[in-house]
Amino acid sequence: MNRKNKHHAPDISCFRLSLTAFLRESHPERLRDNRFIIACTDAATEAYEQANRCKVLLLIFRNVQTS
């Protein structure tokens, strides 16, 4: 994940908190696996950023078509 460009992403702790809550309920043995948690958190942040980039491109494309 490009941490320099995280101004559009929600705070990374939001993803981490959601993941740890899920792990606590479903996979408590993974709660101590920091590399796993960091990798999943980074992947979630990257997916969020990509979705936002696609949304912006779609809005631009729509504006170009209506011009």
Predicted confidence pLDDT, tens digits, the chain (67 residues) = 444 444 455 666 788 999 999 999 999 999 999 999 999 999 998 998 898 888 877 777 777 767 6
Classify burial at 45, counting beta carbons within 10 Å of its beta carbon; exposed 0-12, middle 13-18, buried 19 or more.
buried
Residue 11's pLDDT is what?
65
State the Cα–Cα distance between residues 19 and 58, nearest whole angstrom: 29
